[in-house]
Amino acid sequence: MRFGIDVGGTKIELIALDGAGRAVLRRRVATPQGDYAATLAAIKALVGAAEAELGVTATLGFGTPGALSTVTSRIKNANSTCLNEQPLKDDLEALLAREVRIANDANCFALSEAADGAAAGASIVFGVILGTGVGGGLVVDGRLIEGANRVAGEWGHNPLPLPEAADLPLPACYCGRAGCIETYLSGPGMAADHARLNGVELTAAELVRLAEGGDGACAQATLERYERRLARSLATVINLIDPDVIVLGGGLSNVARLYDNVPRLWSEGVFSDAVATKLVPPAHGDSSGVRGAAWLWPA
């Protein structure tokens, strides 16, 4: 039995997969905000309860924000900042009394969708998370690519390409830089952009509902700015790795108009006379990341 655990900014989710890759149990709890010790305790309780319910001792794969440093083996680059500089792998192995495997949550998402999801059979797959943060993962011929510095796919902390007047001033990012893609394309980034230009605070979900319902011209303009930014940013990804498929995940992957509008716009920035890359929604929805964490252990 393989367990995947997704340690997200708002929830910690566990899935149990049997030998055939079928989900036999799913559980989730709220993530303790800003509290590393409480996060560890929540994980231990979640795993313990699931193993007791199923009567098994499972392999454990974890999807987390950020990545393990190749220098310190501690978490780096996590937008759930309480994890940064923490020896998460060592602490989990001590707490759970077994080896665990850890990968970036976007890497887990990409691995799941490349294995048997929306990009099954594709040679080069780029998985994108558009949610509380913006992440990415790269899978080539079924193999997760982490890179020499374990930052492969981390497009969210590149600068937004070709800023327009409406993109200025460059917003500050938690990473210490300004104008990162994440500050524009995350859910909070969309909300902040709308508030800055319109003086009205709405969540990304509220903005999408208004725009899709035809009730808000300002919300519509916010979505159009978002689409242009996403198209420019993904055009750079296509120019660098030329993926067969880009799969969107996270809350904003549910915005249906992105799949038509963004490919229409990204051709302006792709260095090719035609763009064959497909932009698709995830086959496994919000289960994809946690499924990919379980698949860090092969069958």
- The stretch 262-276 carries a mean pLDDT of 97
Q: How far is CA 77 from CA 35, 84, 204, 212, 250, in A?
A: 17, 7, 24, 34, 18
User: Could you tell me the fold of the domain covering 121-282?
Assistant: Nucleotidyltransferase; domain 5 (3.30.420)
Report the C-alpha gap between 8 and 114 in whole angstroms: 21
Q: Quote the percentage of the chain above a pLDDT of 70.
A: 99
- The answer to whether residues 237 and 246 touch, using CB atoms and an 8 Å cutoff, is yes
Check if 2-108+287-294 and 121-282 are the same fold: yes
State how far the Cα of 269 lies from the Cα of 114, in Å rounded to an integer: 25
CB atoms within 10 A of CB 291: 27
- For position 206, what pLDDT does the model report? 95
pLDDT in tens, 247-261: 999 999 999 999 999
Contact criterion met (CB below 8 Å) for 161 and 233: yes
Q: How far apart are the first and last CA of the chain?
A: 9
The predicted-structure confidence for 126-183, as pLDDT tens digits, reads as follows 999 999 889 999 999 999 999 999 889 999 999 999 999 999 999 999 889 999 999 9
CB within 8 Å of 148: residues ≥ 6 apart: 70
Q: Classify burial at 91, counting beta carbons within 10 Å of its beta carbon; exposed 0-12, middle 13-18, buried 19 or more.
A: middle
Using CA atoms, how far apart are residues 246 and 89, in angstroms rounded to an integer? 29
Phi and psi dihedrals of 137, rounded to 5?
A: -140, 150
Three-state secondary-structure class, residue 91: helix
CATH code of the region 2-108+287-294: 3.30.420.40
Please give the average per-residue pLDDT across 96-106, as a whole number: 95
The one-letter code for the residue type at 272 is: S
Question: Residue 199: CB partners within 8 Å, gap ≥ 6?
Answer: none
- pTM of the predicted model, to two decimals? 0.87
pLDDT band for position 78 (50/70/90)? confident
Residue ranges of the domains in the chain?
A: 2-108+287-294, 121-282
